[in-house]
Amino acid sequence: MNKELTPRYIVIGVILAWALYALIPSWKFQNLNENEKESLRESGQLAQLESKIIRQGLDLKGGMYIVLEADIPLLMSNLAKNKDERFEKVIQSVQEKLSAPDAEFFPLFKQEIATTGLKLPRYYHEFGGNIDDIFVQLEQEAGDAINRVLEILQNRVDQFGVSEPTIQKQGKHRIVVELAGIQDPERARALLQSTALLEFYLVKGPEISNDIIQRIDDKLKGTTELDEFIASNKTSSESTNEETDDTKTVSELFGEEDVNPEESDDSLLVDDALFAERPLLSLLIPMGTDYGVNEKNIYAVKKMLQKPEVESIVKTAGGQFMFGNDIEKPAGAEEQSGFYRLYYLKSTSELTGGVVEEAKANLGSLGGGSAGQPVVSLTMNSEGARTWARVTGANVGQRIAIVLDKKVHMAPNIREKIPSGRTQIEGFANINEAKDIGIILRAGALPAPVNIIEERIVGPSLGADSISQGTRSVIIGLALVLVFMVLYYKGSGGIADFALIWNILLVLAVLASLKATLTLPGIAGLILTVGMSIDANVIIFERIREELRKGKTPKTAIDAGYDRALTTIIDANVTTVIAALVLYQFGTGPIKGFATVLFWGILISMFTAVFVTRTIFNSLSARGRMNSLSI
């Protein structure tokens, strides 16, 4: 071995070993069947393997493309103080006009304020007394809200386990999310849109609940609306013998004529006598210390509770009604209607989710009441811990409802004072539900609700077709180039082909090491790299041919050919590298994927086309047997 070439051999050998090491996980993963993947998943090794493979983009792997739009009108409404009907009408008017193309909220809001003469400082007095200053502050609040939404969504999606998600702003109030390989679209939608308002409310005792229901029934009893229902119910019973029960639709009960009876399944069973005396209680059933509402009666009960006279009673009593989050069915009665629990809670929350520092989903430990069941462990900050200690200490034996987005997830009993600020949320259907809640609570609440305005789902089969076609195009292009080089440059063309194969392997190894995402544009960049790599060798070989025609020896011609071609190769490749960097800096999504492959492909092609091929030529000439050159 020529000692002068030893450093070159070491460099090439190290890089080749690294490339093979980086590509082995991808090769292993591609050769796993579903049973083997499931086995590795159960042992916890699959995630570790997937973290080392070449990741595939949305167009290759399938997944979801979602465009979210922040609800700026609702954000402005939430920021306002002392809201009244006039203010709400202005917000509603602006929201209706936003449906027009290219409509923007703040110009429309300013126009509506000027038209109606609304005194804006009354609602945003904390932003000053000048209207222009208020609008500046509101626009800053909207901008900050979008940036926070962007960060929160990034945190949620990262913890959701999607490889290389794309989350970026589009315009002022929109966000584009690409989730490659997502298998549960419904879960993803819920995760992206949830505002995650976590609150803790004390549950009123059964005596107080019964009393407030009695007062509501006393208020509703004998009203014209209910009398009409009873009368129509009796008339219907006398005129038909098809049914002996007293089932009436919600639209009949509340005069909702816009409800389509063919599409509605919200009929309810009511006893005339009981309904006449206890309208609300007749639609409830006892469920322990709470009441249950048949899922078909939910609409009717909500309509009753939303009546102004009922809301006044409940508000005066310092309480509020909330429904449970999950439907409950009697054991062994899967085909029967389910029930939602109805809770009567204190009107103000004792604590909010802002004090939660950590929320981790796991299985309950042995020795506890939730052993083996999915739970979310909450850790609160110092302020939350103090409040939590006071609330739990003063209400031992009572229940506290854990409310997420105005739905009661559970209402456990307070067994003892909890001074540490650590507690658990239990009662999840499965570990995925617990993980989702934990993700949302860790990431925080969205400052502005977001709505999905566009959604596209790329099926795995389409992604598989893209991979197949992309792979086929690379193989065909590579084969044509390899054949051309051998036919045109003979033995030297074979050396260039060897370097070209190296070039592709090294590019893929870099993608795997950087955890970059390969997309269809990335495959296009890979094919372009093949051409760029061969282009460098073509320039070198033509220079060598010129030197051989001048009568120089093969060794001299090789040295002169490489020296003369190097400047041209560097100039051509540097300009392409600059273009790739610009594309990466200012491009988004697939454009970045293309730029990444192109950038590394160009750098590696210079290494393989110049360093590797010259090392091979120098090795051949160093033996002293190169009397002629096959070129």
**CATH number, domain with residue 369:** 3.30.1360.200
* Residue 36 within any structural domain of the chain: no
Q: What is the CATH number of the domain that holds 499?
A: 1.20.1640.10
pLDDT of residue 246: 43
Task: With beta carbons less than 8 A apart as the criterion, state whether 621 and 555 touch.
Answer: yes
Residues 6+ apart with CB under 8 A from 449: 70, 71, 74, 75, 193, 195
pLDDT for position 18: 92
Does residue 368 form part of some domain?
yes
Residue 512 domain boundaries: 461-622
Compute the chain's Rg from CA coordinates. 35
Model pLDDT for residues 254-287, shown as the tens digit of each residue: 333 333 333 334 444 455 566 667 777 878 888 8
Of the candidates 175, 192, 182, 145, the residue with the CA atom closest to the CA atom of residue 161: 182
Query: Two tokens at 615?
Result: 């090392």
Residues 170 and 75 in one domain: yes
Query: What is the model's pLDDT at position 43?
Result: 55
- Rounded Cα–Cα distance for residues 88 and 313 (Å): 24
Q: Is 517 part of any domain?
A: yes
* Together in a domain, 371 and 423: yes
Closest among 246, 264, 291, 261 to 408, alpha carbons compared: 291
Chain Cα centroid distance, residue 111:
36
> If you write DSSP's letter for every residue of 361-379 in order, what string do you get?
EEEBPTTSTTBTSEEEEEE
Whether 361 is covered by a domain: the verdict is yes
For residues 395 and 524, membership in a common domain is answered with: no
- Three-class DSSP category at 618: helix
* 104 Cβ contact list (under 8 Å, min separation 6): 172
Is-contact 73 95, C-beta < 8 A?
A: yes
Query: Which of these three, 379, 410, 443, is where a domain ends?
Result: 443
Give the chain's domain count: 4
333, 360, 391: which is the final residue of a domain? Answer: 333
Residues 136, 267 within the same domain: no
Burial degree of 612 (CB within 10 A; 0-12, 13-18, 19+) = buried
Residues 381 and 496 in one domain: no
52 within domain boundaries: no
Q: Which of 138, 191, 146, 148 is nearest to 170 (CA)?
A: 146
Assess if residue 200 is contained within a domain. no
Same domain? For 411 and 366 the reply is yes
User: Does residue 593 belong to any structural domain of this protein?
Assistant: yes
Structure confidence at residue 412 (pLDDT): 80
First to last CA, the chain: 25
Q: Whose CA is closest to 248, among 282, 292, 214, 291?
A: 282
Per the CB < 8 A criterion, the answer to whether 552 and 503 are in contact is: no
Look up residue 99 and give its amino acid.
S
Please tell me the distance from the alpha carbon of residue 257 to that of residue 184, in angstroms, as a whole number: 37
Q: How far apart are CA 573 and CA 155, in angstroms?
A: 38
Of the CA atoms within 13 Å of residue 537, those in its CB half-sphere come to 35
Please, what is the Cα angle at 594 between 590 and 595, to 5 degrees?
115
User: Which one of 458, 486, 507 terminates a domain?
Assistant: 458
Per DSSP, the three-state class of 569 is helix
The type of residue at 232 is S
Question: Is 33 inside any structural domain?
Answer: no
Token code pair at residue 374: 């999915």
Both structure tokens of 577: 């590298």
pLDDT in tens, 387-416: 888 888 888 888 888 887 677 877 888 877
Tell me, yes or no, whether 214 and 250 share the same domain.
yes
For residue 502, what pLDDT is reported? 87
Q: Where are the alpha helices (DSSP H) in 285-351?
A: 298-305, 308-316
How many residues in the chain?
631
CATH code: domain of residue 89: 3.30.70.3400
Q: Are residues 173 and 296 in the same domain?
A: no
Q: Do 467 and 505 fall within a single domain?
A: yes
Contact assessment for residue 508 and residue 622, using Cβ atoms and an 8 Å cutoff: no
Amino acid of residue 475 = I
| Residues 621, 628: Cα–Cα separation, whole Å | 10
Q: What is the pTM of this model?
A: 0.51
What distance in Å separates the CA atoms of residue 77 and residue 142, rounded to the nearest whole number? Answer: 12
Are 173 and 142 a contacting pair, CB within 8 Å?
A: yes
Same domain, 190 and 215: no
Whether 73 and 184 share a structural domain:
yes
Distance in angstroms (rounded) separating the CA atoms of residues 616 and 2: 12
DSSP run (H or E) holding 401: strand 400-404
Residues of the chain falling short of pLDDT 70: 1-3, 41-44, 47, 155-156, 158-164, 181, 183, 194-197, 222-276, 330-337, 353-354, 366-370, 405, 427, 439-447, 459-463, 588-589, 623-627
Same domain, residue pair 436 and 481: no
